[in-house]
Amino acid sequence: MPGRVVVITSGKGGVGKTTTTANLGAGIAMEGWRVCLVDADIGLRNLDVVMGLENRIVYDLVDVVEGRARLRQALIHDKRIENLYLLPAAQTREKDAVSPEQMKELTAALAEEFDYVLIDSPAGIEHGFRNAVAGADEALVVTTPEVAAVRDADRIIGMLEARDLRNPRLIINRIRTDMVRRGDMMDIDDIIEILAIELLGVVPDDEAVIVATNRGEPVVLQSRGRCAEAYRNLVDRFLGKDVPILNLDGQGSLLERIRSWMAMGRSNR
Protein backbone atom coordinates (compact mmCIF):
# COMPACT_ATOMS: atom_id res chain seq x y z
CA MET A 1 0.00 0.00 0.00
CA PRO A 2 1.46 3.38 -0.94
CA GLY A 3 2.34 5.80 1.84
CA ARG A 4 0.57 9.00 2.74
CA VAL A 5 1.59 12.23 1.07
CA VAL A 6 1.12 15.15 3.44
CA VAL A 7 1.66 18.79 2.55
CA ILE A 8 2.61 21.28 5.27
CA THR A 9 1.49 24.74 4.28
CA SER A 10 0.47 28.11 5.73
CA GLY A 11 0.00 30.86 3.21
CA LYS A 12 1.96 33.33 5.27
CA GLY A 13 5.72 33.06 5.41
CA GLY A 14 7.76 32.76 8.54
CA VAL A 15 5.25 30.90 10.66
CA GLY A 16 7.39 27.78 10.91
CA LYS A 17 6.41 25.45 8.06
CA THR A 18 9.93 24.25 7.53
CA THR A 19 10.69 23.76 11.22
CA THR A 20 7.41 21.91 11.62
CA THR A 21 8.13 19.69 8.63
CA ALA A 22 11.61 18.86 9.93
CA ASN A 23 10.44 18.04 13.45
CA LEU A 24 7.31 16.18 12.46
CA GLY A 25 9.26 14.15 9.92
CA ALA A 26 12.09 13.36 12.33
CA GLY A 27 9.58 12.46 15.02
CA ILE A 28 7.63 10.10 12.77
CA ALA A 29 10.85 8.44 11.61
CA MET A 30 11.90 7.96 15.25
CA GLU A 31 8.72 5.95 15.70
CA GLY A 32 10.03 3.56 13.08
CA TRP A 33 8.15 4.72 9.99
CA ARG A 34 9.92 5.37 6.71
CA VAL A 35 9.74 9.10 6.06
CA CYS A 36 10.78 11.28 3.13
CA LEU A 37 10.83 15.05 3.48
CA VAL A 38 10.38 16.97 0.25
CA ASP A 39 11.39 20.62 0.00
CA ALA A 40 9.00 22.14 -2.53
CA ASP A 41 10.34 25.66 -2.03
CA ILE A 42 12.33 25.75 -5.24
CA GLY A 43 14.61 28.77 -5.35
CA LEU A 44 14.40 29.44 -1.61
CA ARG A 45 15.22 26.09 -0.13
CA ASN A 46 15.62 25.89 3.64
CA LEU A 47 14.69 22.42 4.77
CA ASP A 48 18.19 21.11 4.05
CA VAL A 49 19.68 23.84 6.23
CA VAL A 50 17.27 23.24 9.10
CA MET A 51 18.04 19.52 8.88
CA GLY A 52 21.78 20.20 8.75
CA LEU A 53 22.08 18.34 5.45
CA GLU A 54 22.96 21.21 3.11
CA ASN A 55 26.51 20.06 2.52
CA ARG A 56 25.40 16.66 1.28
CA ILE A 57 23.31 17.86 -1.62
CA VAL A 58 24.50 16.69 -5.00
CA TYR A 59 21.25 16.35 -6.91
CA ASP A 60 17.94 18.01 -6.18
CA LEU A 61 14.27 17.77 -7.00
CA VAL A 62 14.63 19.62 -10.29
CA ASP A 63 17.47 17.32 -11.37
CA VAL A 64 15.13 14.38 -10.81
CA VAL A 65 12.23 15.99 -12.64
CA GLU A 66 14.44 16.93 -15.57
CA GLY A 67 15.99 13.49 -15.72
CA ARG A 68 19.55 14.37 -14.74
CA ALA A 69 19.39 12.14 -11.69
CA ARG A 70 17.39 9.17 -10.54
CA LEU A 71 15.19 9.65 -7.50
CA ARG A 72 17.37 7.37 -5.39
CA GLN A 73 20.46 9.43 -6.20
CA ALA A 74 18.88 12.67 -5.06
CA LEU A 75 17.58 11.36 -1.72
CA ILE A 76 19.77 12.29 1.23
CA HIS A 77 19.76 9.90 4.13
CA ASP A 78 19.74 11.56 7.54
CA LYS A 79 22.34 9.56 9.42
CA ARG A 80 20.89 10.44 12.83
CA ILE A 81 17.61 8.65 12.18
CA GLU A 82 17.50 5.39 10.31
CA ASN A 83 14.33 5.89 8.29
CA LEU A 84 14.58 9.56 7.43
CA TYR A 85 15.35 10.90 3.95
CA LEU A 86 15.32 14.34 2.35
CA LEU A 87 14.69 15.34 -1.24
CA PRO A 88 16.14 18.86 -1.42
CA ALA A 89 14.86 21.67 -3.60
CA ALA A 90 16.98 23.40 -6.22
CA GLN A 91 18.32 26.74 -5.10
CA THR A 92 19.35 28.06 -8.48
CA ARG A 93 16.03 27.63 -10.23
CA GLU A 94 12.57 29.06 -9.87
CA LYS A 95 9.21 27.62 -8.98
CA ASP A 96 8.14 27.18 -12.58
CA ALA A 97 10.97 24.71 -13.18
CA VAL A 98 8.49 22.06 -12.03
CA SER A 99 4.86 21.55 -12.97
CA PRO A 100 2.09 20.24 -10.71
CA GLU A 101 1.86 17.13 -12.91
CA GLN A 102 5.55 16.42 -12.40
CA MET A 103 5.17 16.86 -8.64
CA LYS A 104 2.27 14.44 -8.67
CA GLU A 105 4.39 11.86 -10.44
CA LEU A 106 7.29 12.45 -8.09
CA THR A 107 5.30 12.17 -4.88
CA ALA A 108 3.53 9.08 -6.19
CA ALA A 109 6.92 7.46 -6.79
CA LEU A 110 8.04 8.44 -3.28
CA ALA A 111 4.84 7.10 -1.75
CA GLU A 112 5.76 3.68 -3.15
CA GLU A 113 8.95 3.69 -1.11
CA PHE A 114 7.94 5.54 2.04
CA ASP A 115 5.21 5.34 4.65
CA TYR A 116 5.02 9.13 4.88
CA VAL A 117 6.01 11.78 2.37
CA LEU A 118 6.00 15.23 3.96
CA ILE A 119 6.05 18.17 1.57
CA ASP A 120 7.31 21.51 2.84
CA SER A 121 5.33 24.08 0.88
CA PRO A 122 6.64 27.53 0.00
CA ALA A 123 4.79 30.55 1.33
CA GLY A 124 2.22 32.11 -0.94
CA ILE A 125 -0.65 30.83 -3.03
CA GLU A 126 0.99 30.79 -6.45
CA HIS A 127 2.77 28.25 -8.57
CA GLY A 128 4.91 26.92 -5.72
CA PHE A 129 1.85 26.27 -3.59
CA ARG A 130 0.10 24.52 -6.46
CA ASN A 131 3.16 22.31 -6.92
CA ALA A 132 3.34 21.49 -3.24
CA VAL A 133 -0.29 20.42 -2.94
CA ALA A 134 -0.48 18.69 -6.33
CA GLY A 135 0.31 15.20 -5.14
CA ALA A 136 -0.86 15.49 -1.54
CA ASP A 137 -3.39 13.19 0.07
CA GLU A 138 -3.86 15.42 3.07
CA ALA A 139 -2.74 18.79 4.41
CA LEU A 140 -1.50 20.30 7.63
CA VAL A 141 -1.88 24.03 8.05
CA VAL A 142 0.59 25.88 10.25
CA THR A 143 -0.29 29.20 11.80
CA THR A 144 0.93 31.43 14.59
CA PRO A 145 -1.41 33.22 16.98
CA GLU A 146 -1.35 36.41 14.94
CA VAL A 147 -4.27 37.93 13.09
CA ALA A 148 -2.40 38.10 9.79
CA ALA A 149 -1.20 34.50 9.97
CA VAL A 150 -4.67 33.26 10.85
CA ARG A 151 -6.16 35.26 8.00
CA ASP A 152 -3.75 33.65 5.54
CA ALA A 153 -4.35 30.22 7.04
CA ASP A 154 -8.06 30.73 6.44
CA ARG A 155 -7.40 31.59 2.81
CA ILE A 156 -5.20 28.53 2.41
CA ILE A 157 -7.78 26.24 3.98
CA GLY A 158 -10.30 27.48 1.44
CA MET A 159 -7.86 26.77 -1.39
CA LEU A 160 -7.05 23.33 -0.02
CA GLU A 161 -10.71 22.45 0.16
CA ALA A 162 -11.20 23.69 -3.39
CA ARG A 163 -8.52 21.19 -4.38
CA ASP A 164 -10.27 18.35 -2.63
CA LEU A 165 -7.84 18.29 0.25
CA ARG A 166 -10.66 18.01 2.73
CA ASN A 167 -10.26 18.20 6.47
CA PRO A 168 -6.85 19.81 6.74
CA ARG A 169 -5.58 19.79 10.30
CA LEU A 170 -4.13 22.74 12.16
CA ILE A 171 -0.85 23.24 13.97
CA ILE A 172 -0.56 26.37 16.08
CA ASN A 173 3.06 27.36 16.33
CA ARG A 174 4.93 29.74 18.64
CA ILE A 175 2.23 30.25 21.19
CA ARG A 176 3.23 32.17 24.32
CA THR A 177 1.23 31.09 27.27
CA ASP A 178 2.21 34.12 29.33
CA MET A 179 0.88 36.48 26.69
CA VAL A 180 -2.27 34.44 26.20
CA ARG A 181 -2.88 34.54 29.96
CA ARG A 182 -2.58 38.33 29.95
CA GLY A 183 -4.98 38.49 27.04
CA ASP A 184 -2.30 39.92 24.74
CA MET A 185 -2.30 37.00 22.33
CA MET A 186 -5.01 35.05 20.54
CA ASP A 187 -5.60 31.82 22.36
CA ILE A 188 -6.20 28.42 20.85
CA ASP A 189 -9.96 28.70 21.12
CA ASP A 190 -10.01 32.04 19.30
CA ILE A 191 -8.06 30.56 16.41
CA ILE A 192 -10.12 27.37 16.22
CA GLU A 193 -13.29 29.40 16.25
CA ILE A 194 -12.20 31.29 13.15
CA LEU A 195 -10.64 28.44 11.22
CA ALA A 196 -13.02 25.71 12.31
CA ILE A 197 -10.73 22.79 11.51
CA GLU A 198 -9.36 19.99 13.63
CA LEU A 199 -6.43 20.97 15.84
CA LEU A 200 -3.51 18.58 15.54
CA GLY A 201 -1.21 20.24 18.03
CA VAL A 202 0.30 23.28 19.62
CA VAL A 203 3.97 24.22 19.82
CA PRO A 204 5.21 26.83 22.29
CA ASP A 205 7.46 29.72 21.37
CA ASP A 206 10.83 28.64 22.66
CA GLU A 207 14.41 29.72 22.16
CA ALA A 208 15.39 26.05 22.04
CA VAL A 209 13.79 25.79 18.59
CA ILE A 210 15.86 28.68 17.26
CA VAL A 211 19.06 27.27 18.71
CA ALA A 212 18.38 23.77 17.35
CA THR A 213 17.32 25.09 13.96
CA ASN A 214 20.48 27.11 13.61
CA ARG A 215 22.50 24.02 14.45
CA GLY A 216 20.67 21.92 11.91
CA GLU A 217 19.27 19.54 14.50
CA PRO A 218 15.53 19.13 14.78
CA VAL A 219 14.56 19.92 18.36
CA VAL A 220 12.40 16.79 18.52
CA LEU A 221 15.62 14.76 18.72
CA GLN A 222 16.33 16.22 22.15
CA SER A 223 15.35 14.01 25.03
CA ARG A 224 13.90 16.80 27.11
CA GLY A 225 12.47 20.28 26.78
CA ARG A 226 8.92 21.47 26.29
CA CYS A 227 9.33 21.97 22.56
CA ALA A 228 10.63 18.47 22.01
CA GLU A 229 7.66 17.30 24.08
CA ALA A 230 5.26 19.39 22.05
CA TYR A 231 6.56 17.96 18.78
CA ARG A 232 6.40 14.40 20.10
CA ASN A 233 2.81 15.09 21.11
CA LEU A 234 2.18 16.34 17.58
CA VAL A 235 3.76 13.19 16.14
CA ASP A 236 1.67 10.91 18.35
CA ARG A 237 -1.54 12.65 17.41
CA PHE A 238 -0.54 12.66 13.75
CA LEU A 239 0.04 8.90 13.91
CA GLY A 240 -3.43 8.50 15.34
CA LYS A 241 -2.54 7.76 18.94
CA ASP A 242 -5.23 8.78 21.35
CA VAL A 243 -3.39 11.40 23.37
CA PRO A 244 -4.62 14.82 24.43
CA ILE A 245 -3.05 18.01 23.18
CA LEU A 246 -0.11 18.91 25.35
CA ASN A 247 -0.99 21.32 28.11
CA LEU A 248 1.50 24.11 27.66
CA ASP A 249 0.33 26.15 30.57
CA GLY A 250 3.22 25.96 32.98
CA GLN A 251 0.93 27.33 35.66
CA GLY A 252 -1.43 24.40 35.33
CA SER A 253 -2.13 22.26 38.35
CA LEU A 254 0.47 19.70 39.36
CA LEU A 255 -2.02 16.96 38.66
CA GLU A 256 -2.57 18.19 35.13
CA ARG A 257 1.12 18.37 34.50
CA ILE A 258 1.71 14.88 35.81
CA ARG A 259 -1.10 13.64 33.64
CA SER A 260 0.46 15.18 30.56
CA TRP A 261 3.83 13.70 31.46
CA MET A 262 2.22 10.31 31.81
CA ALA A 263 0.61 10.75 28.43
CA MET A 264 4.04 11.54 27.06
CA GLY A 265 5.53 8.55 28.78
CA ARG A 266 2.92 6.25 27.35
CA SER A 267 3.42 7.48 23.87
CA ASN A 268 7.15 6.89 24.16
CA ARG A 269 6.47 3.33 25.19
Q: Considering the complex, what minimum distance in angstroms separates the CB of residue 106 from another protein?
A: 21
Query: Judged by CB, which is closer to another protein: 122, or 145?
Result: 122
DSSP bridge pairs for 143? 172
Rounded to a whole number of angstroms, the minimum distance from the CB of residue 43 to another protein is 6
Which residue type sits at 122? P
CB of residue 46 vs another protein: minimum separation in angstroms?
A: 10
Q: Are 44 and 94 in contact (CB under 8 A)?
A: no
- Smallest CA-to-CA distance from 169 within 24, 2, 22, 55 is with 24
Segment near another protein (CB under 8 A); pick from 17-25, 37-45, 127-135, 168-176 = 37-45
Amino acid identity at 168 = P
Decide if residue 54 touches another protein (CB under 8 A): yes
Within 8 A by CB and 6+ apart from 212, the residues are 218, 219, 221, 222
In angstroms, the CA 74 to CA 72 distance is: 6
d(CA 165, CA 130): 12
For residue 242, the tally of other CB atoms under 10 A from its CB is 9
CB 35 within 8 A of CB 84: yes
- CB of 49 or CB of 179, closer to another protein: 49
Candidate residues 13, 14, 32, 58; the one interacting with another protein per rule CB under 8 A: 58
Closest residue by Cα to residue 40 from 114, 95, 109: 95
Q: Which residues within the stretch 98-137 sit at the binding site for another protein (CB under 8 A)?
A: none
Q: Does 92 sit near another protein (CB under 8 A)? A: yes
Piece of the chain touching another protein by CB under 8 A; list 26-34, 48-56, 95-103, 188-196: 48-56
Which is nearer to another protein, 65 or 243 (by Cβ)? 65
101, 134 Cβ separation under 8 angstroms? yes
Q: Cβ closer to another protein: 155 or 215?
A: 215
Stretch that binds another protein, among 4-12, 38-46, 183-191, 199-207 (CB under 8 A): 38-46
Q: Which of 2, 43, 100, 225 binds another protein (CB under 8 A)?
A: 43
Interface size with another protein, residues (CB under 8 A): 12
The binding site for another protein (CB under 8 A) comprises 43-45, 49, 52, 54-58, 91-92
